[in-house]
């Protein structure tokens, strides 16, 4: 048996097909192991581009990749579509939502994060989050439906349909705000001739003093400047206190009539029942430098749901895609080498931050690399190129590139479909 505890022929179950789980499974597709990838969705979702689904720039199929297609040619990797209810580490069994069990020899938990509403029930029930493809589609549907609704609304109700409140000034909130601002300027007035879009307000709320608060002062200032130039109303040091579906109340006492609140203000790890509280810290599994849970020889956690203390990150790593991908790469290398050499000593993980970036609009982006920081058109092109390269299939790269090129030259998009009826209990029949 290797230092990691893996043996040839082991059944390895990976829970979660996000960046960490998918990359681990892909790297083990030729190993002498039986790998089962389990996810409640049947496809991998490219989360950095969810905001483009929500604003009608891309189709969901462009950033969604069926697991069975990905592993079509792999003989040792299989997929199970199920929601995991609990883990029994003693019997080495996981219970699924179908009241069926899956056994394992080695278990890797890569369940990622969910939206954190910080215990505010009213907001969680009435605001939109954007952590899945379905949620992104729901936002697109509701926003487009709002304009249809505004046409028929009573005069005193119209403004509520024309206010969008976005909570959270991190990359997601900034990118979403900028995309809506471009829709307001270039697209929507051509579609809705009877609506005065000068009254369409995009309001971004951020609890700290700055947008993109984890970046440099230059990037913080540039992002806010870009947003305000594009017509976004930016309110910093401002919190959303409550939202009942009709009125957003802020900590300043201000009340904003709105039907649309999008929450992008925080995440929390997806913890599965079955392990002890001593294995968990701040909704993340406590792992050592090889991503192994400290009380177990055969359970690992990766990515957003892993809490690992290292010299560079004594309070745990940031919950970003690069950490998830690189932890998966490090673990897969350790597994593959340990299967070949039982005396192999696993390499401990440390995150080397390669930088951050965010796009606000056409020719408006900020990029921070270890050796240089810049903004503007060049940053925007680099953001597009790097995200395009991260897309899995060649076909999807071409589709996305075509959509981006079409939007670039025409300042338009043809993906403005309303594909559902019931949005937060607002129905077409209400008209």
**Which pLDDT score, from 0 to 100, does residue 428 have?**
41
Domain check: are 104 and 131 in the same one?
Answer: no
**Same domain membership, residue 284 and residue 245:** no
Cα first-last separation, the chain:
67
Where does 77-161 have alpha helices with state H?
A: 121-126, 133-152, 158-161
Q: What is the pLDDT of residue 410?
A: 82
Query: 69 lies in a domain?
Result: no
Residues 245, 305 within the same domain: no
Q: Is residue 1 part of a domain?
A: no
- Looking at the fold, whether 168 and 254 belong to one and the same domain comes out as yes
Look up the domain containing 408 and give its range. 121-265+362-430
Q: Is 2 contained in some domain?
A: no
The answer to whether residue 46 sits within a structural domain is: no
Longest dimension (CA), the chain: 75
Asked, for residue 65, whether it belongs to a domain, the answer is no
CATH number of the domain enclosing 35: 3.50.50.60
Domain identity same for 237 and 144:
yes
User: Does 393 share its domain with 254?
Assistant: yes
Per residue of the chain (431 residues), give pLDDT as tens: 456 889 999 999 999 999 999 999 999 998 999 999 999 999 999 999 999 999 988 989 999 999 999 999 999 999 999 999 999 999 999 999 888 999 999 999 999 999 999 989 999 999 999 999 999 999 999 999 999 999 999 999 999 999 999 999 999 999 999 999 999 999 999 999 999 999 999 999 999 999 999 999 999 999 999 999 999 999 999 999 999 999 999 999 999 999 999 999 989 999 999 999 999 999 999 999 999 999 999 999 999 999 999 999 999 999 999 999 999 999 999 999 999 988 899 999 999 988 899 999 999 999 999 889 999 999 999 999 999 998 988 888 998 998 888 888 888 776 677 876 554 445 443 43
* Beta-carbon contacts of residue 289 (< 8 Å; ≥ 6 apart): 308, 310, 348, 349, 350
**Is the residue at 346 inside a domain?**
no
Residue 386 lies in a domain: yes
Q: Are residues 245 and 369 in the same domain?
A: yes
Q: Do both 180 and 316 map to the same domain? A: no
300 lies in some domain = yes
Q: Is the CB of residue 111 less than 8 Å from the CB of residue 269?
A: yes
State how far the Cα of 59 lies from the Cα of 9, in Å rounded to an integer: 40
User: Are 282 and 258 part of one and the same domain?
Assistant: no
pLDDT value of residue 1: 47
Domain with 245 in it: what CATH number?
Answer: 3.50.50.100
Of 409, 410, 430, which is closest to residue 259 (Cα–Cα)? 430
Residue 165 near residue 256 (C-beta atoms within 8 A): yes
Number of domains in the chain: 2
| pLDDT for position 81 | 95
31 plus 88 within the same structural domain: yes
Give the pLDDT score at 414.
63
Backbone angles phi and psi of 114, in degrees to 5: -125, 170
Residue after which a domain boundary falls, among 276, 307, 340: 340
One domain, residues 242 and 320: no
Among 310, 340, 370, the domain boundary falls at 340
Claim to verify: residue 260 and residue 288 sit in the same structural domain: no
């Amino acid at each position: 048996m290797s230092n990691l505890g893996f043996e040839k022929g082991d059944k390895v179950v990976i829970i979660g097909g996000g960046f960490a789980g998918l990359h681990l499974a892909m790297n083990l597709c030729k190993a002498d192991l039986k790998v089962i990838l389990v996810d409640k969705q049947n496809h991998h979702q490219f989360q950095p581009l969810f905001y483009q689904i929500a604003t009608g720039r891309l189709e969901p199929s462009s950033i969604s990749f069926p697991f069975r297609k990905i592993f079509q040619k792999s003989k040792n990797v299989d997929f199970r579509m199920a929601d995991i209810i609990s883990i029994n580490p003693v019997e080495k069994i996981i219970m699924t939502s179908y009241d069926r069990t899956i056994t394992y020899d080695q278990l890797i938990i890569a369940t990622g994060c969910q939206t954190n509403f910080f215990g505010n029930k009213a907001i969680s029930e009435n605001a939109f989050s954007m952590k899945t493809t379905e949620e992104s589609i729901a936002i697109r549907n509701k926003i487009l439906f709002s304009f249809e609704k505004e046409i028929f609304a009573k005069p005193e109700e119209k403004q509520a349909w024309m206010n969008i409140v976005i909570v959270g000034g991190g990359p997601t909130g900034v990118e979403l705000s900028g995309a809506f601002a471009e829709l307001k300027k270039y697209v929507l007035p051509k579609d809705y001739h009877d609506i005065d879009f000068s009254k369409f307000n995009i309001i971004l709320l951020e609890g700290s003093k700055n947008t993109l608060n984890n970046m440099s002062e230059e990037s913080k200032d540039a992002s806010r400047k870009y947003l305000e130039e594009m017509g976004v109303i930016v309110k910093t040091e401002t919190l959303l206190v409550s939202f009942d579906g009709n009125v957003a109340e802020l900590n300043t006492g201000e009340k904003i009539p709105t039907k649309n609140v999008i929450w992008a203000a925080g995440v929390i790890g997806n913890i599965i029942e079955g392990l002890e509280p001593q294995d968990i810290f701040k909704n993340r599994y406590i792992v050592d430098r090889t991503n192994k849970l400290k009380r177990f020889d055969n359970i690992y956690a990766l990515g957003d749901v892993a809490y690992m203390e290292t010299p560079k990150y004594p309070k745990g790593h940031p919950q970003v895609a690069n950490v998830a991908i690189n932890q998966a790469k490090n673990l897969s290398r350790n597994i593959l080498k340990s299967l070949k050499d039982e005396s192999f000593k696993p390499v401990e993980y440390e995150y080397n931050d390669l930088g951050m970036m965010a796009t606000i609009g056409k020719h408006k982006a900020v990029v921070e690399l270890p050796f240089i920081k810049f903004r503007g058109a060049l940053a925007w092109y680099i953001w597009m190129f790097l995200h395009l390269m991260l897309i899995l299939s060649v076909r999807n790269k071409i589709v996305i590139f075509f959509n981006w090129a079409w939007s670039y030259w025409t300042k338009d998009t043809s993906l403005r479909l309303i594909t559902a009826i019931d949005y937060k209990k607002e129905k077409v029949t209400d008209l």
